[in-house]
Amino acid sequence: MSHKCPLFWASHVLDHSSKHYNLSTALRQTWSGEFYSFIFWLWLSLLGFNPGLIMLQMSISLLYQFWIHTEAIDKLPKWFQAVFNTPSHHRVHHGSNPLYLDRNHASILIIWDKLFGTFQPELKEKKVVYGLVENIDTYNPVKIAFIEWLALFKDSFFGW
Task: For 64-114, write each residue's pLDDT tens digit.
Answer: 999 999 999 999 999 999 999 999 999 999 999 999 999 999 999 999 999
Per-residue pLDDT at 91: 97
**Bridge partners, residue 84, by sequence:** 109
pLDDT at 34 over 90: no
Any idea what the Cα angle at residue 1 is, between residues 102 and 21, rounded to 5°? Answer: 45
pLDDT, residue 82, reads 98
Residue 115 pLDDT more than 80? yes
